[in-house]
Amino acid sequence: MKAGHKFAIGALVIVAAIAALMYTGVKQTGVYFLTPTELLARTSADPSFHDVGLKVGAKVVPGTIKRDRASQRIEFAVSDGQNQFPVRYEGIVPDTFTDENDIEVIMSGKLGTDGVFHATEVLAKCGSRYESELDKLKQSA
Amino acid sequence: MNLLGEFALWTALLVAGWSAILAFATRGPARDRAAASVRQAPHAIALCLWVAAVSFWKALFSHDFSVEYVYSYSSRNLPDYFLFAAFWAGQKGSLLFWALVLATFASIAQLVTSRRYHDLLPAVAGVTSVVTGFFVLVMLVGGANPFERLPFVPPDGRGLNPQLQNPGMVIHPPMLYLGYIGMTIPFAFAVAALMARRLDSGWIHAIRRWSLVSWLFLSVGITIGMWWAYVELGWGGYWAWDPVENASLLPWLTLTAFLHSVMVQEKRGMLKRWNLSLVIGSFLLAIFGTFLTRSGVIASVHSFTQSNVGYFFLGFLLVAGVLCYTLLYTRWPSLEPEATLDSLASREAAFLFNNLVLLGIAFSVLWGTLFPILSEAVRGTKISVGPPFFNRVNVPLGLLLLLLTGIGPLIAWRRASAANLSRQFTGPVVAGLVVALGLLLAGLRDGYALAALAIAGFVTGTVAQEFIRGVRARGRLYQEPALVALGRLIARNRRRYGGYLVHLAIVVYFVAFAGGAFKVAKEATLRVGEAIEIDSPFGHRYRLTHLGVSQYQSLNRRVSAATLEVRQDGVRVGTIKSEKRQHVDSFGQPTFQPSTEVGIRSNLREDLYVVFAGTVDGTERGSFAVTVHPLVWWVWAGGVLLVVGGLVTMWPGGPEMAPRARPAPTRVEPEGVAV
C-alpha cells in the first residue's frame, strides 16, 4: 500500500474521531437557548420540560431585583417583552448585574413547576444604557 | 484637527480606490507604467491614516467632547495611558486603529521586501489598498466615523468602562490587532503570486517573516488577553471559550498549521495548494473574527455594541472568499506537487497530521461557536454549547497535537528508518513514562491530566535531547565550554532552536492547562474575624480570615478594599486584598457599574484567587469567592518563553539562509534544498 493511502486512512480515522467527538459533544452538552416566551410555550406543552436544564436570554424587569446580601440570594423577574417569570439565584452575580435599567442576562438553570426559574449561573450585560443616555442628552440640547 | 482627520480618511479612501484600479484594471503597457505608481500608494495611504490617527489622539488628549467618541470613551479624570488606549476602546476607534496598522504594515512591506520578489509588489499594494480602503469605507459610510460630532459640547465624557481600565487595555488589543492585521500581508503576497502565476516557492520565502510576526503577535495578544480576563473578570479562569476568544483562536490555529506545512513545501515541494488555502483562510478568519465581535450575531461579554458594521464585514468576507478561492481554483493545475509522500514514518507525515489536527480543532471551535445560529437555522431552536463541549472535543485533540510536537522535529524527512526512530525517541519515551509513573505514585488519577503531563515529559525530553546533542557536538568540534556552545548553537541555527523553544513554551502551556483540571472554588459571606477554609489540590489547607473593609478615594474611583489573612496549614503566609471600585467622573458622580479588583497570591504551584463581591448592608460583613487554581503561573511563563523562542526564530541576519548544518546526523539524511 502506498504511503499516501496509508495517510488517507489515518486521516479518515482522525476525521471520524473528531466528527464523533463533536456529535456526541453536542448531544450531551448542548442546551436549549430560549426566550421566556419559548420556554413557557414548551413547558406548557410538555411538563417534563421543567426538568431540562437550559439557558434563557432575557431582560431583567426594572425594579424587581431583591437582594439578600447576607446569604447571597437574589430574586428578580425577567421578560422578553411578552412574557415574564421570576428568577431565583444563589451566588455572586457579576458586576455587570446592576440595579439599573436595561440589563440583559443569560441564565442557566431550570424552570421549576412552581413557575420560578432556578438559575445556576447568571451572566449579565449592560444593554443600551449608554445609547439611551446619549439620546436624552441630544434631545435636551 | 477633527476636520483634518476626516479629510485624511476621505483622501485615504480615494488613494486606495485609485490604487486598486491601477493594480487590477490595467492591462499591457499601461500596467507597467501603473506599477510604479501603485507601489507608492501604500505610503500615501499610511500617511493619511497617521494624520487621521494623530488628529484622533489629539481629540482624546485635549478632551474635545464635541467628538462623540471622545465623549463616549474618555473623561477629564482618565489617566493619560488610558486616554492613549481609549483610541481602540470602542467600535469606531478600533476600526481606525485596524486601518492604521494595516496601512503601516502595507507600507513597510513595500520597503523591506527583497528585490527578488519586486514583481509581486504592485499586486500586493493593490490587495492591501483594497483591504485598507474597505476599513476606511466602513468608517465613512458604514456609520462608524470616529470623528462624528455631537450637536453640543458636554462638560465631561462618560469615561472608560472600568473593566477596560487595566494595563491589559494598553497592550492586549494592539498585540491582537497586529497579529490579525499582519496576516493581510502574507495574504496579499499569496493573491499576488496567484495572479502573476509565480507559483514557485518564491512567495513563501517573501512572507516567512511576516507570517511569523503575525503569529507571534497573535500568540502574545491571546496570552495577554487570558491574563487580563483572569485578573479582571473575576471568575477564576483565563479561558472561557467565549465566542470572541474563539474568534482570536481560529486564525491562530490555521496560521500555526501554515507555519508547519510551509516547511513541507520548502523541503519537498508538496502542499502548494494547501498552503495557499491556509494563508487565504487565515486572513478570512481574521476578518470573520472582526465580524463576529462587531455584529452582535453572537452573544458575548466582549463584543462591541451591536451595529450594522457587521454586515459590511460579512459582505466583504463572502466576496473576498469567493474571489480568492476562485482564483486559487483557476491556478490549480500549475500547483502540482513535486513529490509524494514516501512513508507514514516521516516528517512530512507528522506535519500532515499536525495540520489535520489543527484544522480539526479550528473546525470544532468554529462549529461550537456558530452552533446557536446553525441549530436555529436548521431546526428552528437555538441550542448553545459551552465549555464542556469545547473541552470534550479539544482536550484529546490537543494532546494528540502535543504528541506530534515531540515527533515532528525529530523524525527524518521522507522515510525514517528503525534506527532513526530508536535513536531519536528512546530517551524521550522513557522520560514520558518516568513522568507518568512518578505522577501515578504521587496519587494523580485524572486520566487527561496524566496523559498531558506524560506527553509534556516526552516532548521536553525530545527538546532537551536536541540541545544536549547540539552542545556536545559543538564541544567536540570546537572545544567550546557548554554555555558558549549553547549560545552559539542557538545563534547559528536560529530557526531550528528558536522553534524548539516555542515548542517548549507550548509544553509549558499544556502543563498549565492540565493544572486547570484541579481548580477548586468556594463562596462565603464572612463577618470580620470569621474565616473560610479551602483545600488545595496539592494537599494543604488554606484558611482565610476576614480582617475588615477599608474605604478610600483614589484617582478616578471610590474603593472598598477587603483584606483577608491567609494561613496555610495553620502558618500565616501573608494577607490578600480584593477591591470593589466605583468609578466616578470629575464631578464625583458614579460612572458605569462597580468593578472588582481581584486579589491574587501566585506561586509556582498554584494561585490563591479572592474576589470581594461586596459588603452586606453597609456593614463590614463581606461576600467572597475564593478559588485555588493550580499552575496558572505557568501560562504566563509559557507566554514569555514563546516570545523568546519566536524572536530567536525570526531574528534578522545570521547564517540562516545557509544550508542547515545538522549536529546530530542520522543515517537517513537526504536533506532537501535548504532555504
Question: Which of the listed residues B161, B195, B214 is the one where a domain comes to its end?
Answer: B161
CA separation, residue B18 to residues B13, B44, B142 (Å): 9, 12, 20
Domain that holds residue B49: 1-161
B158/A contact by beta carbon, under 8 A: yes
pLDDT 10s digits, A97-133 = 877 767 888 899 999 999 999 999 998 876 444 444 5
The region that residue B76 occupies, defined by phi over 0 for left and psi between -120 and 50 for alpha, beta otherwise, is alpha
* A120 part of contact set with chain B, CB < 8 Å: no
Mutation site, B264, B300, B392, B627, interface A, largest A CB count within 10 A: B392
Please check whether residue A132 touches B, CB under 8 A: no
- In a domain, residue A85? The reply is yes
Closest residue to A18, CB basis, from B352, B397, B614: B397
Give yes or no: residues A109 and A97 share one domain: yes
Q: Is residue B479 part of a domain?
A: no
The Cα B60–Cα B71 span in angstroms is 9
A23–B contact, CB cutoff 8 A: no
Taking CA atoms, what residue in B is nearest to A141?
Answer: B152
> Does A95 sit within 8 Å of B234, measured CB to CB?
yes
pLDDT band at B663 (very low <50, low <70, confident <90, very high): very low
Q: How far is A26 from chain B (nearest CA, A)?
A: 7
> Is residue A76 one of the residues assigned to a domain?
yes
Pair (A6, A59) in one structural domain: no
Q: What is the dihedral of CA B577, B582, B588, B592, to 10 degrees?
A: 160
- Judge whether residue A41 has pLDDT over 70: yes
If one counts the domains in chain A, the total is 2
Type and span of the H or E element at B217: helix B202-232
Does the pLDDT at position B331 exceed 70?
yes
Shortest CB distance from A25 goes to which of B344, B356, B389?
B389
Q: Taking residues B376-392, what's their average pLDDT?
A: 90
If DSSP codes are grouped into helix, strand and coil, which group holds residue B598? coil
Tell me: do A23 and A85 sit in the same domain.
no
B612, part of any domain: yes
Confidence band for B253, pLDDT divided at 50, 70 and 90? very high
The closest of B409, B273, B412, B415 to B338, measured between CA atoms, is B273
Q: Enumerate residues 6+ apart whose C-beta is below 8 A from B35.
A: B122
Question: Tell me, what's the pLDDT at B300?
Answer: 61
Q: What is residue B562's three-state secondary structure? A: strand
Mean local confidence (pLDDT), B89-101: 93
Whether B628 is in a domain gets the answer yes
pLDDT per position as a tens digit, B416-433: 899 989 999 999 999 999
pLDDT (tens digit, 9 = 90+) per residue, B40-50?
A: 999 999 999 99
C-alpha cell at B195: 495572479
Q: Tell me, yes or no, whether A72 and A37 share the same domain.
A: yes
Q: Quick check: B594 contacting A, CB < 8 Å? A: yes
At B291, is the pLDDT very low, low, confident or very high (cuts 50, 70, 90)? confident
Res B302 pLDDT > 60: no
Q: Is A72 within 8 Å of B392 when comparing Cβ atoms?
A: no
Contact assessment for residue B191 and residue B127, using Cβ atoms and an 8 Å cutoff: yes
Give the gap in angstroms from C-alpha B66 to the nearest C-alpha of chain A: 12
Q: Which of A92, A75, A108, A68 is nearest to B388 (CA)?
A: A108
Confidence category of residue B587, pLDDT binned at 50, 70, 90: confident
In whole angstroms, what is the distance from residue B546 CA to residue B255 CA? Answer: 48
Question: Do A15 and A46 fall into the same domain?
Answer: no
Mean pLDDT of chain B: 90
Burial of B493 (0-12, 13-18, 19+ CB in 10 A): buried
Q: Summarize the confidence of residues B103-109 as an average pLDDT.
A: 96
B659 has pLDDT over 50? no
Asked if residue B115 is part of any domain, the answer here is: yes
User: Which of B560, B554, B550 has the alpha carbon at shortest distance from B595?
Assistant: B560
pLDDT at residue B668 above 60?
A: no
Tens digit of pLDDT for each residue in B491-522?
A: 999 999 999 999 999 999 999 999 999 999 99
Same domain, A67 and A14: no
Q: Tell me which DSSP letter residue B338 carries.
A: S
C-alpha cell at B264: 513541507
Does some domain include residue A116? yes
Please, are residues B282 and B359 in contact by the beta-carbon 8 Å criterion? no
Q: What is the pLDDT of residue B299?
A: 62
pLDDT at A124: 82
Q: What is the per-residue pLDDT across B113-128, written as a single tens digit (0 to 9) for each?
A: 888 888 899 999 999 9
Residue B356 touches chain A, beta carbons under 8 Å: yes
Which of B103, B131, B161 lies at the terminal end of a domain, its last residue?
Answer: B161
Buried b (16+ CB within 10 A) or exposed e, B318-338: eebbeebeeebeebeeeeeee
Q: By the CB < 8 Å criterion, does A6 face chain B?
A: yes
Ranking B102-111, B296-305, B655-664 by mean pLDDT, the lowest is B655-664
A70 and A125: one domain?
yes
Domain count, chain B: 2
Residue at which a domain ends, from B129, B161, B193: B161
Is A127 a domain residue?
Answer: yes
B29 interface with A at CB cutoff 8 Å: no
To test the contact with chain A by mutation, choose from B389, B526, B560 the residue with the greatest count of A C-beta atoms within 10 A, namely B389
Q: Residue B566's domain is classified under what CATH number?
A: 2.60.98
| Chain B, window 72-91: residues with a beta carbon less than 8 angstroms from a chain A beta carbon | 72
CATH number, residue A84: 2.40.50.140
pLDDT band for position B98 (50/70/90)?
very high
Residues 332-351 of B with CB under 8 A from A: 340-344, 346, 349
Q: Which of B152, B368, B625 sits opposite A141 (nearest CB)?
A: B152
Query: Which letter, b or e, does each residue of B176-202 get, where b requires 16 or more Cβ atoms within 10 Å of its Cβ?
Result: bbbbbbbbbbbbbbbbbbbbeebbebb
pLDDT recorded at residue A20: 95
Tell me: do A95 and A126 sit in the same domain.
yes
B177: in domain: no
The grid coordinates listed for A20 are: 464523533
| Average pLDDT value for residue range B59-71 | 95
d(CA B100, CA B139): 12
Q: Which residues of chain A does B349 touch, with a Cβ-Cβ cutoff of 8 Å?
A: 3, 7
In a shared domain, residues A24 and A87: no
Distance between CA atoms of residues A100 and B173, nearest Å? 29
Structural element, H or E, at residue B574: strand B571-583
Chain A residue nearest residue B301, CA to CA: A125
Chain A residues in contact with B364 (beta carbon < 8 A): 18, 21-22, 25
Range 89-108 of A in CB contact (< 8 A) with B: 91-92, 94-96, 98, 100, 106
CB contact under 8 A, B356 and A137: no
The DSSP code sequence of B300-320 is -SSPPPP-THHHHHHHHHHHH
Residues A23 and A49 in one domain: no
Query: Does A1 map to a domain?
Result: yes
From the list A6, A21, A33, which residue is nearest B384 (CB)?
A33
Q: Cα(A53)–Cα(B18) distance, rounded to whole angstroms?
A: 56
**Distance to chain A for B363, nearest Cα, Å:** 9
For B597-646, the pLDDT digits (tens) are 999 999 999 999 999 988 888 889 999 999 999 999 999 999 999 999 99
* Percent of the residues in chain B that have a pLDDT greater than 90, as a whole number: 69
Contact: B617, A69; criterion CB under 8 Å: yes
Least confident of A34-38, B198-202, B216-220, B270-274: B198-202
Nearest to A71 among B150, B343, B525 (CB): B525
Residue A140 domain flag: no
In a domain, B337, yes or no: no
- Range of the structural domain that residue A35 is part of: 31-134
What CA–CA distance (Å, rounded) separates B657 from A115?
Answer: 71
Say if A53 is an interface residue toward chain B (CB within 8 Å): no
Check whether residue A46 and residue A106 sit in a common domain.
Answer: yes
Residue B672 has pLDDT above 50, yes or no: no
Please check whether residue A18 lies inside any domain of the structure. yes
C-alpha distances (whole Å) from B643 to each of B392, B405, B635 are: 29, 18, 13
Q: Does A9 touch chain B (CB under 8 A)?
A: no
- Evaluate if residue A137 carries a pLDDT over 70: no
Per-residue pLDDT at A141 = 53
Q: Are residues A42 and A80 in the same domain?
A: yes
B397, three cell numbers: 485533540
Structural domain contains residue B458: no
What residues does B558 pair with on adjacent strands? B553, B582
Distance CA B64, CA B51 (A): 17
The runs of H, that is alpha helices, within B237-346 are 243-268, 272-295, 309-330
Note the pLDDT tens digit of each residue in B145-187.
Answer: 999 999 999 988 888 888 888 888 899 999 999 999 999 999 9
* Cβ–Cβ gap A95/B68 under 8 Å: no
- Is residue B105 domain-resident? yes
Average confidence (pLDDT) over B515-530: 93
Instruction: Determine whether the interchain pair A33/B383 forms a contact, defined as Cβ–Cβ distance below 8 Å.
Output: yes
User: Is B568 part of the contact surface with chain A (CB cutoff 8 Å)?
Assistant: no
Q: Are B259 and B275 contacting, i.e. CB atoms less than 8 angstroms apart?
A: no
The whole-number average pLDDT for the span B341-349 is 89
Interval B28-39 mean pLDDT: 84
**A141 located within any domain:** no
pLDDT tens figures, A5-33: 888 999 999 999 999 999 999 999 999 99
ipTM, two decimals: 0.88
Q: What is the mean pLDDT of residues B360-373?
A: 94
